[in-house]
Amino acid sequence: MTIEPNVLIVPARECLDRAYAPYSGLRVAAALLDDRGRLFTGVNIENISYGLSMCAERVAIFSALAAGARRITALAVTSSGADLLSPCGACRQVMAEFADADVPVYCDTGGAVRRFSVAELLPAGFAAAQLGRQR
Ligand code: THU
Each residue's pLDDT tens digit, 90-121:
999 999 999 999 999 999 987 789 999 999 99
Residue type, 118: V
Distance CA 45, CA 130 (A): 32
6 lines ligand 1 (CB under 6 A): no
| Residue 62 neighbours by CB distance under 10 Å | 16
Phi and psi dihedrals of 64, rounded to 5?
Answer: -65, -45
57 part of the active site? yes
| Residue 32 neighbours by CB distance under 10 Å | 29
CA–centroid distance, residue 105 to ligand 1 (Å): 16
pLDDT at 77: 98
Q: Was domain 6-131 assigned CATH 3.40.140.10?
A: yes
Q: Write down the domain spans for the chain.
A: 6-131
Global pTM? Answer: 0.96
30 lines ligand 1 (CB under 6 A): no
